[in-house]
Amino acid sequence: MRTIAAVIYVCVDIFLFTSMPIAFGQSSSNPTNIFSDHAGKELESSASATSFNPLVAPQEGRTLWKVHMPDGQLKSHSIRVYVTPDIPHNQRPRLRLLRSHAVTKHAVDETSDEEPALIATSQEWIEVVEGQRVRRSGTLLIFDIDHIEFEYNAMLRVTPVVSWGEKPNEQIIVGEREVNVGNVVATVAWTTLVVGSAILMVIMLTRQMGRNPLLLLTGVDGHLSLAQTQIACWTVALGSVVLGYGFIKLGKV
């Protein structure tokens, strides 16, 4: 009896499955159409709703141009600036670096336009946008800004502005964010000053206690300790590197 009931149950299931498209007005030869057609209607309705949404106004024929200047470049090296459109050489592309002035005054050379030393079209590069790597193509502009005065600053925070062409057809692109441009000479000077001041302070405090500063490098037996000497040297070396990196990347002196 159980076997007969199981066979009847299977037959009923097969009949219901094959007759389900007919109940919905579909052909029984393709029972999966009910799902594909239903999904297609939903996609069509959603697409039509998006195309007629008054808040989404498509702008046909408009291309958004981008300018990308890598962060942390040094003024003693060639400055690389990427622009998404291909700029012909006869359009005379130019670069202007706008600075922030919370306390300092405007520099004389701040409003001047820099001419590129090299223009390379049809170039590709990769940017990181919101944690995603984006590949873009366009023009690579290389500038020499070694003549720009940084005064005593180890770093300047600037906004790149690229323009080309002549008025009234001049095209201008402004960078989305500020970037840091470092000065190696000022960075080394400030790092040496800070680290040297710290070492001098340790020596003065040791002498004030009436002890020889060299005893900080000796062991309990009074002889020079290789381990303590290495620790002291590595502390000074790593501290100098991290401090110099911080001057260029994180702050403005």
Cis previous bond, 168, omega within 30: yes
Residue in 29, 34, 5 with CA at minimum distance from that of residue 18: 29
Mean pLDDT estimate for the chain: 75
Residue 55 clears pLDDT 80, i.e. is over it: no
Among 17-31, 41-55, 201-215, the range of highest mean pLDDT: 201-215
Q: Are residues 80 and 140 in contact, defined by beta-carbon separation less than 8 angstroms?
A: yes
Residue that has been written with the tokens 């002549």 in this structure: 166
CA distance 7 to 64: 67
CA 97 from centre of chain: 18
Per-residue pLDDT averaged across 179-206, rounded? 90
Q: Are residues 188 and 244 in contact, defined by beta-carbon separation less than 8 angstroms?
A: yes
The pTM of this model reads 0.60
Residue 177 clears pLDDT 70, i.e. is over it: yes
CA distance 82 to 80: 7
